[in-house]
Structure 1
Amino acid sequence: MTLALVLEQLLNGVQFGLMLFLMSAGLTLVFGVMGLINLAHGSLYMIGAFLCAAIAGMTGNFWLGLMAGIAAAAAAGALIEIVVIRRLYARDHLDQVLATFALILILSEGVRMIFGPFPLYLNVPDILRGTVQLGIVDYSFYRLALIGFGLAVAVGLWLLISKTRLGIQIRAGESDREMIAALGVNIRALYTIVFALGAALAGLAGALVGAIQSVQVGMGEPVLILAFVVIVIGGIGSIKGAMVGALLVGVIDTMGRFLLPRIFATFMDTSQAMGVGAALASMLIYLLMALVLIFRPKGLFPAHG
């Protein structure tokens, strides 16, 4: 195990964390503003990945596929909010969980019917292929671009929330939705915009990750679980919390899966060490979540106190 390999895995963890941020930022916005538990958020991630892979495959243009994936996820999110979610705001969380779980099944089967049961593969764009020399490590140019892209989106989202009229309305909606409705803000339109924005961020994450893994039905659910862990750690409704939580989860999960098997291999059989190390590594982020809940029940950076 060399320092270069450790640095490479650390960068992989940061890249993974920033993609988790794109997922969890939309999820925490929806939960913070609307008070809605949306289990179908992972399906919007899947839609973005499939549309990007399909359009890029047909046209040979990754960037056109990326825009199509974002637009499709945003449109699907807006449609879902208007047709289904709008009827759930006044219902309890159990009804929301059941309805959005049904959406997972519907969207998964719909994607399977349209694109088929087999995975799609998305090529890295030519301009982002190859490696970049970063001191002692040669790192994937595409993964480095994902880090830069994730940071740029985070800055853009912060500017949107903190510096624009829409952002003021979103923050006010988190605090007192009845008051902003009384002041003349179209609360229905605001909810649709927030839901579509969250869906677009999920679709963006799916489209970007699709170039480094296969695009397949059900790919969003494991990421959704991690996104829920992120917002619990970071604090519900907090963009800052989503960023910090996502980076913590990404780095701890990646480094745990890299280091623990190698540590156990020093005093047990290699194959056994891989199994034990991988099992313990998968527990680390949940142990982190438990510790945060013990000492900071509202998360590290809750939106309200």
Structure 2
Amino acid sequence: MTLALVIEQVLNGVQLGVMLFLMAAGLTLIFGVMGLINLAHGSLYMVGAFACASVAALTGSFWLGLVASLAAAAAAGALIEITVIRRLYQRDHLDQVLATFALILIFSEGTRWLFGSFPLYLDIPPLLQGAVGLPGGAQYPLYRLAIILAGALVAFGLYALISRTRLGMRIRAGESDREMIAALGVDIRTLYTLVFALGAALAGLAGAMVGALQSVQVGMGEPVLILAFVVIVIGGIGSIKGALIGALLVGSVDTLGRFLLPQLLALVVPPDQAGLIGGALASMLIYILMAIILAVKPRGLFPAQA
């Protein structure tokens, strides 16, 4: 184990955390403001990835594909909020879960009908190809560093939006007392549509950026959705700060656990068994982390209304 390898894995953990933050930020914003459990959030991640891959294939430009991913995911989010989600705000969470699960099936089959069952592939743009040197002589992909930077910029932008703008003030007020801001003349329906579209756009952006690292395929959003729920539970439901800290914790624990546990277990058991046992334990680490945090702080690390 070298210093360069450890630094590389730490950066991989941060990069995974950034992607989870983009998913979890929209999810926690929607749940915090609307009180809605949206299982279809992973489908919006998939929509962004497919929009980016298809537009990039047609135009030859990754950047146009990235813009298309934001537009397509936001439009899809606004459409389902107006046609389906709007009817669920006053219903209990079981109805919300069933309705948004149905949306997962609709999006999956609709995407399969439009693009087929075969995966699409998205090339890294030439500007972000190559690698940068790390201490110890290792090379780290420039594209992954760009993802980390993009996530940091989005986190700063969300902080500025929520804390420094009139829209952010309305979002915070809607989270605290939606009846009062509606009585003050704020169009609560339009506000909810904007919040839902914003959350969807963040999910679409995450899907587009990950699409250049793995194949773009139907159902790619569901595994990420599970991790995003873990993130918002750890960070505190409704908290953007909590989503960021929780995402970085989950990304780092998951990545470093998969890297370190097999090597540590190899000291006491045969290497082949160490790999199997270490991989199984590593997949449990984030849930163990969640259980420990909830035992100490039942509302998460940074609950929105602490």
Contact 2:3 2:135 in 1 (8 A): no
1:228: Cα distance to partner?
Answer: 0.3
Contact 2:4 2:134 in 1 (8 A): no
| TM-score, reference length from structure 2 | 0.99
Answer yes or no: is 1:280 the counterpart of 2:261: no
The aligned residue for residue 150 of structure 2 is 149
Distance in 2 (alpha carbons) for counterparts of 1:204 and 1:36: 21
Partner amino acid, structure 2, of 1:91: R
Give the 3-state SS of the residue equivalent to 2:213 in structure 1: coil
C-alpha distance after superposition, 1:85-118 (max 9, x if no partner): 0000010000000000000000000001101101
Q: Distance in 2 between matches of 1:156 and 1:135?
A: 31
Runs of 4+ in 1 over 4 A off after TM superposition: none
Structure 2 partner of 1:192: 193
SS at match of 2:140: strand
- 1:134 positional shift: 2.9
The alignment yields a C-alpha RMSD, in angstroms, of 0.7
Q: Distance in 1 between matches of 2:195 and 2:252?
A: 28
Instruction: Indicate the residue corresponding to 2:173 in structure 1.
Output: 172
Determine the structure 1 residue equivalent to 2:164: 163
Question: 2:160 is aligned with what amino acid?
Answer: L
Partner of 1:132, secondary structure, is strand
Quick one: distance in 2 between partners of 1:300 and 1:80?
31
* Partner of residue 48, structure 1: 48
**1:271 deviation in Å?**
2.1
Identity score, percent: 74
Cα shift at 1:57: 1.2
Residues in 2 aligned to 1:164 and 1:32: alpha-carbon distance in whole angstroms: 18
Correspondence 1:190-269 to 2 at 5 A: 190-269=191-270
What is the alpha-carbon distance in structure 1 between the residues aligned to residue 176 and residue 150 of structure 2?
30
How far did 1:262 drift? 1.4
Unpaired runs of at least 5, structure 2? none
Specify the alignment match of 1:107 in structure 2. 107
**Structure 2: which amino acid aligns with 1:14?**
V
| 2:66 paired residue number | 66
AA aligned opposite 1:76: A
Say how many residue pairs are matched.
Answer: 305
* Distance in 1 (alpha carbons) for counterparts of 2:275 and 2:220: 24
Secondary structure at 1:221 match in 2 = helix
Paired residue for 1:91?
A: 91
Structure 1 counterpart SS, 2:118: coil
Q: Distance in 2 between matches of 1:192 and 1:222?
A: 26
Deviation at 1:266, TM superposition (A): 2.2
Q: Which runs of 5+ in 1 are unaligned?
A: none
Match in the other structure for 2:296: 295
SS at match of 1:90: coil
1:245-290 alpha-carbon deviations (Å, 9 max, x no partner)? 0000000000001111111122222222111101100100000100
Aligned mates of 1:36, 1:271 — CA distance in 2? 45
2-side partners of 1:272 and 1:40: how far apart? 38
**Contact 2:23–2:225 under 8 Å retained in 1:** yes
What is the 5 A alignment of 1:24-35? 24-35=24-35
Q: Deviations over 1:199-237 (max 9, x none)?
A: 000000000010001111111000000000000000000
More moved, 267-276 vs 49-58: 267-276
Q: Aligned partners of 2:112, 2:177: CA distance in 1, in Å?
A: 41
The aligned amino acid for 1:106 is I
Give the Cα separation in 2 of the matches to 1:293 and 1:275: 28
Aligned partners of 1:251, 1:63: CA distance in 2, in Å? 28
SS, match of residue 18 in structure 1: helix
- The 3-state SS of whatever aligns with 2:120 is coil
1:244 corresponds to which letter in structure 2?
Answer: I
Give per-residue Cα distances to partners, 1:144-167, cap 9 Å, x unaligned: 010001000110111000000000
By how many angstroms is 1:138 displaced?
Answer: 1.6
In 2, Cα distance between equivalents of 1:50 and 1:263: 39
